[in-house]
Structure 1
Amino acid sequence: MTEVRNELVRKRYAAERRFRFYGAAALGLTALFLAFLLVDIVSKGLPAFRETSVEVDVTVDAAEVDPANLAGGNYDKMIKEAFRAEFPDVKGRTERKALSALLSSGGADTLRSMVIADPALIGKTVTVPVLLGDDADLFLKGLLTRVKTTAGAMPLHIAQLDGEEGFVLTGDKAGEEAERQLGLAAGDVIRFKGGALRVTGPQNGYLKAEPIFAPDPAITTLAAGQWDVLAFSVPESNRRISDAQVLWLDQLKSEGRIETSFAWRLFEAGDSREPELAGIRGALIGSLLTVLVAISLALPLGIAAAIYLEEFAPKNRWTDLIEVNINNLAAVPSIIFGLLGLAVFLNFFGMPRSAPLVGGLVLALLVLPTIIIASRAALKAVPPSITEAALGVGASKQQAVFQHVLPLALPGIMTGTILGLARAFGETAPLLMIGMVAFIADIPSGFTSAATVLPVQVFLWSDLPEMAFQSRTAAAIIVLLVVLFALNAVAIYLRKRFERRW
């Protein structure tokens, strides 16, 4: 018997160890996936918190600015003309257009703000930080292609092809293949003072190249160190920035005219079709207004309903039916509440579409069952002896509930409420049904203004083809997670702050 008992004890301890191991393994795997998710989101979103600009010396032309209407001046023309003046060798229409494409369509906003703040700048030359476009910004952040620059280690001979456009590249050793001798490959860019060539491939023991910037015909030989090679990880045909634009940016960077700063625009601007100009301010304010409406309605109604059902309602089939329906509503998919809001608030009552007021009403219906259930659980957790003691010293039922039970249940009620608020803050599906998915560039000014919310903004940006919107999407997710973490931290603080032990 003793041996059998010892064997049973041994098996029981082994089962407990396996259970602890499985639990620890599950927690470790969950933490690993969570860490991978956070690292991925943060690594993709961090570039959106920085923006790049180029310093341009601009003469504020009095002919382009009306002192009576400073905001209506043709600042874009002044910016582009000043920027093109930095590259006097760029002559052709196509090249000038490609050069101007490096600048953002909102690049003139800084100059406009400077002139409006100080009209005395009219007629003067000022240095303006002009925002770069999304493609130039991504390249400078290393997100479009990696560039390896190597100095030319031997003489390079350049000869123009007879009867066709292009050049022949050879080294200083006859009889050896130029590709192997020079260490060049198709797609590499050869840069030197006075021109730039793109290698197209080998041909009969030499390399053929096409001009990016046509070199001076007098240049036939480049000594070692007078030329360098730019090797791209992504060929020009597969990226949105050309080799010529890369060379222009590299020149500006070498001159110290490129500067990087924190992208306050991300938090100060509304939505935009241009990635470098898009911000989350409109969506963030829309989220706050929407959630404010939701919590203003759901919190008092939810707590009042919980107190009545738990403390005052008679226990009969009607209250049982109400409790079953509340539990069922808590499990209903959120998009059903969006359909309800579309049918009732928009179609029946005619409320404004895409307004935080309507979104707040829908989210209030969504989180109301959660608040009721959490509040009832918090009230039920208060020991009955508290109520009995209050009644024993002469307090009424109402006094016992509101002066004794409710203060003790407040931590649990607030925790459930804030968790419901966090759920409402992150909801997307019900708001899509009431039109909050529209493109809205303006900042909402009230509860009836057209607006969108942060989760919907993430949804919209994730569907756009521009690569720069990927980092904008990840940045918006980071902000959303920070807000949700903050709400959960507040819930923990309130629970600890008002917690009572008995």
Structure 2
Amino acid sequence: MNDLSEVSGRSPRRTIDVVRTSLVKRRQAEKRFQLYGLVSIILGLCFLVILFGSIIANGYTAFQQTSIGLDIHFDPELIDPEGRRNQSALMEADYDGLLKNALSSLFPDVKERQAKRALNGLISSGASYSLRDLVLAKPELLGKIERVWVSADDDVDMFVKGQSGRGGAEAERRLKDNQIAWIDKLEAEGHIKKSFNTAFFTSGDSREPESAGIWGAVMGSLFTLLVTLGLSLPIGMAAAVYLEEFASRNRWTDLIEVNINNLAAVPSIVFGLLGLAVFINFFGLPRSSPLVGGLVLSLMTLPVIIIAGRSALKAVPPSVREAALGVGASPMQMVFHHVLPLAVPGMMTGAIIGMARALGESAPLLMIGMVAFIVDIPQSVMEPSTVLPVQIYLWADSPERGFVERTSAAIMVLLVFLIFMNGLAVYLRKRYERRW
């Protein structure tokens, strides 16, 4: 403007030159701004690729498990010396002795007590339970010799997968030289193999990395989300419909709207403190249960669902309401027969996004005790359980190298669920959303 005012008395030719010069500078500034935005996007994508790459690099090996094949002699003298052949006798049998005998037959030269302990340490401590379950399922194995594949110890698993090497001083390695020699012999004779780790998806938590799985956490997350969905969806949709369609505009509704918007920004751990004080200490509900977790997450997701529901209702054109009222529909019929069906896709999209947020939350659930070590698979909303984000937190705090890969693998599973839920929300919005 100053340049134009200075040349206001000059020739039109000079004025055009000034305008062209300013346009060039403006376009250059716009190009620089676009370049800054493009660089920011590229940097963000690079950081995202690095993050996902590190997670995948650390976690993909968890989907494979190293097993050791042993020719087990199901000696009736060790399993059922009294010959009762009932379930209680089979459950109390010395299956550790069967495993030790099978290893001793492969390495008859190992005689010293310490060496035997190191040899038996190649097998997971949970291998005896797998052997017990096999005998309970097939009692006809008694007296026979059959090759059974049992899980290797987590140190052996890491070694076979190449996550730990054989270099360096023996005192600095988890596996000693004699154990590495035994592993090499087992691999040469075909007694070691890697297979898909089904136990990771079918087992509960364990203190041994090779036996730990996510199924207990997945079931806990499922029950928690069912409680959350069953409470927050109908209450949130009803609140959105009332506030947007029926509530009169006064200071009370303004106060409610302000509080709803503020609750959407409250840190999630505050809801955990509220759940601890109200649901557990006051009402006495069971600690660490999906019921309490679902109640807490319902409080956290309600503002999100209400805000998304109101936005979906606002997106319906006023002409729809006016047309319904014009043909004689009551306000209730207008809302539930005409407006709400058009707003449901947007409301469901907000609900799914709220559920996705609830699935990834851990802070409020830590406050109500869902951080406990839970081995059993929960069967109802009243049983103690944990959820997938808390399970990841527990594994990340464990010092064993085997839990590092399982932590990353559990993060990958959680990301798959979150991507699926957000993808479903996008699909519903694209599929059913109407543009006016």
Equivalent pairs counted in the alignment come to: 416
- The residue aligned with 2:73 is 59
Question: Could you report, residue by residue, the CA deviation over 1:286-340 in whole angstroms, capped at 9, with x for unpaired residues?
Answer: 0010011011100010011011101110000000000001011111111110010
Aligned mates of 1:474, 1:309 — CA distance in 2: 43
- Aligned-pair distance for 1:13? 1.7
More strand by share: 1
Structure 1 residue 339 and structure 2 residue 273: aligned?
yes
Question: Could you report, residue by residue, the CA deviation over 1:388-426 in whole angstroms, capped at 9, with x for unpaired residues?
Answer: 122122222122222222122222211111111000001
- Aligned-pair distance for 1:111? 2.6
Q: For 1:310, which of 244, 261, 268 is the aligned residue?
A: 244
Aligned mates of 2:326, 2:19 — CA distance in 1: 53
- The residue aligned with 2:86 is 68
Question: Could you report, residue by residue, the CA deviation over 1:8-65 in whole angstroms, capped at 9, with x for unpaired residues?
Answer: 2212222221222122111111111111111100111111110011111111010122
AA paired with 2:40? A
Q: For 2:120, which of 100, 103, 110 is the aligned residue?
A: 100
- The residue aligned with 2:10 is none
Aligned mates of 2:341, 2:57 — CA distance in 1: 44
Q: For 2:408, which of 474, 481, 491 is the aligned residue?
A: 474
SS of residue matched to 1:129: strand
Aligned mates of 1:401, 1:371 — CA distance in 2: 18
Tell me which moved more, 108-117 or 331-340: 108-117
- The residue aligned with 2:295 is 361
SS of residue matched to 1:373: helix
Aligned mates of 1:367, 1:394 — CA distance in 2: 37
Structure 1 residue 128 and structure 2 residue 62: aligned?
no
Aligned mates of 2:18, 2:196 — CA distance in 1: 71
Aligned mates of 2:178, 2:433 — CA distance in 1: 66
**Residue pairs, 1:333-482, within 5 angstroms:** 333-482=267-416
Q: Provide the aligned C-alpha RMSD in A.
A: 1.1
Aligned mates of 1:408, 1:24 — CA distance in 2: 37
AA paired with 2:148? V
Aligned mates of 1:60, 1:391 — CA distance in 2: 81
- The residue aligned with 1:116 is 136
- The residue aligned with 2:37 is 23
SS of residue matched to 1:55: strand
- The residue aligned with 1:37 is 51
Tell me which moved more, 374-383 or 288-297: 374-383
CA contact (8 A) 1:110 1:129 kept: no
More helix by share: 2
TM-score normalised by the chain length of structure 2: 0.94
Aligned mates of 1:390, 1:32 — CA distance in 2: 52
Aligned mates of 1:318, 1:489 — CA distance in 2: 37
- Between 1 and 2, higher relative CO (CA 8 Å, sep ≥ 6) is seen in 2
- Aligned-pair distance for 1:235? 2.6
CA contact (8 A) 1:110 1:128 kept: no
AA paired with 2:86? A
- The residue aligned with 1:241 is 175
SS of residue matched to 1:108: helix
Tell me which moved more, 78-87 or 10-19: 10-19
AA paired with 1:349? F
Unaligned runs of 5+ in 2: 1-14
Aligned mates of 2:333, 2:17 — CA distance in 1: 63
SS of residue matched to 2:72: strand
Unaligned runs of 5+ in 1: 148-231
CA contact (8 A) 1:104 1:134 kept: yes
AA paired with 2:99? I
Aligned mates of 1:474, 1:425 — CA distance in 2: 17
- The residue aligned with 2:110 is 90
Runs (4+) of structure 1 moved beyond 4 Å?
A: none
Aligned mates of 1:293, 1:338 — CA distance in 2: 16
SS of residue matched to 1:13: helix
Question: Could you report, residue by residue, the CA deviation over 1:202-227 in whole angstroms, capped at 9, with x for unpaired residues?
Answer: xxxxxxxxxxxxxxxxxxxxxxxxxx
- The residue aligned with 1:178 is none
Aligned mates of 1:239, 1:371 — CA distance in 2: 53
Question: Could you report, residue by residue, the CA deviation over 1:337-384 in whole angstroms, capped at 9, with x for unpaired residues?
Answer: 001000000000000000000000000000001111111111112221
Aligned mates of 2:45, 2:249 — CA distance in 1: 44
CA contact (8 A) 1:48 1:475 kept: yes
Aligned mates of 2:390, 2:425 — CA distance in 1: 25
Structure 1 residue 281 and structure 2 residue 215: aligned?
yes
Q: For 1:269, which of 203, 227, 233 is the aligned residue?
A: 203
Aligned mates of 1:249, 1:21 — CA distance in 2: 56
Percent identical pairs in the alignment equals: 57
SS of residue matched to 2:127: coil
- The residue aligned with 1:223 is none
Q: For 1:492, which of 413, 419, 426 is the aligned residue?
A: 426
SS of residue matched to 2:329: coil
- The residue aligned with 1:8 is 22
Which structure has the bigger radius of gyration?
Answer: 1
